[in-house]
Amino acid sequence: MPTAVIDIGTNTLLLLIVDDAMQPIVDLCRFGRLGKGLDASGRLAADAIATSLEICREYRRVMDHHGVAHPIVIATQAAREAGNAAEFVGPAEQILGAPIEVIAGRREAELAATAVARTFPELAAARYLVVDVGGGSTELITVDAGRVDAEVSVPIGAVRLTERHLKHDPPAAAEIAALDADIDRQLAQLALPRGVPVIGTAGTATTLAAVKLGLARYDAAAVTGLRISPGGVADLLARLLAATVAERKAIAGIEPQRADVIAAGAAIFARIIQRIDAPVLITCDRGIRWGVAYERMSTGGATRGS
């Protein structure tokens, strides 16, 4: 029986369906931008709720087609932060036919670490930092020889920081400086390992990889394991910050719906890499949705609560 996992984030809703051998049957990404305006208002916008519920209806049809009755559904930063999250969660549960588990940031970090460990078994003896840059939060997980040493979630993400700082198109120098300072303030509070590789999961990391490769069509296998030097990340960031949103949409590898927020997400990676003197960014398509699926296959049960 196929297993379906839905990951409801601040920017995207993801649907993964895998078979019993953990081979992907369906792996879809849709942009609900559920967290639009959340940083300023503390609430989910009505149009963002409506768009995201329509994506849930699409995913219900896809799951029906593949014979999946009960998906595992998780929601992250936007759902855990918004004062009116119930206005989305209740209707979405009815549409999907499953409860939605709003997971804590540390749980999100744990799932990202699981996905990376299973994707890159060759790193089993290594020390590295997993970084999952989302729309509303960023998870950082220190892994040493397969053991999670530390995990933290900080409230910086591609959508949140774009809305907070990048008002002009392209961004002004003062806005970029404020963006960097905001990221640095958050990172200054963290005890992070130095000189270790950064493993980047989620859409910002895979978009950077797709741009680096010039992919006209996204290829999960091509971006997974791609190594980008610190200078390469800095060059990609400079290119994104110098471009207008319209120009970014024309860059191979960037989904049009991600073009307005990709620069802020890339800046988070660049500041982390600089702060810890990381030798390389390794990108990974398999994020928290895969972490849930791996756990489900290992235990035969639902994910544990946050």
Residues 252 and 159 in one domain: yes
Last residue of a domain, one of 102, 118, 153: 102
Last residue within a domain, chosen from 81, 102, 123: 102
When divided into structural domains, the chain yields a total of 2
Residue 186 lies in a domain: yes
Answer yes or no: do 134 and 163 share one domain.
Answer: yes
Supply the pLDDT for residue 300.
63
36 within some domain: yes
Domain that holds residue 20: 3-102
pLDDT along the chain (306 residues), means of 10: 94 96 95 94 97 98 96 95 96 98 91 94 96 93 94 94 96 98 96 97 95 96 97 98 98 96 98 98 96 86 38
DSSP letter for each residue of 227-296:
EE-HHHHHHHHHHHHHS-HHHHHTSTT--GGGTTTHHHHHHHHHHHHHHHT-S-EEEES--HHHHHHHHH
Structural domain includes residue 291: no
Q: Which residues pair with 13 in a beta bridge?
A: 8, 30
Do residue 132 and residue 270 come from a single domain? yes
The SS3 call for residue 186 is helix
**For residue 190, what are the contacts with CB-CB under 8 A and spacing of at least 6?**
140, 152, 154
| 181 and 139 together in one domain | yes
The reply to whether 42 and 156 lie within a common domain is no
Which CATH number covers residue 67?
3.30.420.40
Tokens standing for residue 172: 């002004």
Contact 21, 147 (CB under 8 A): no
Q: Which residues contact 149 (CB under 8 A, 6 or more apart)?
A: 142, 143, 193
Same domain for 142 and 95: no
pLDDT computed for residue 105 by the predictor: 86
Same domain, 194 and 280: yes
Torsion of CA 177, 160, 221, 144, to 10 degrees: 80
Give the pLDDT score at 302.
42
Q: Phi/psi class of residue 237: alpha, beta or left (left: φ > 0; alpha: ψ in -120 to 50)?
A: alpha
Same domain, 260 and 141: yes
42 phi-psi bin (left φ>0, alpha ψ -120 to 50, beta other) = left
pLDDT of residue 305: 34
Q: Which of 136, 16, 131, 27 is nearest to 79 (CA)?
A: 136
Residue 82: the pLDDT is: 95
The answer to whether the CB of 275 falls within 8 A of the CB of 191 is: no
Provide CB contacts within 8 A for 58, sequence distance 6+.
30
Residue 129: name the closest of 303, 278, 299 by CA: 278
Is 124 contained in some domain?
A: yes
Question: 123 and 210: one domain?
Answer: yes
Residues 78 and 128 in one domain: no
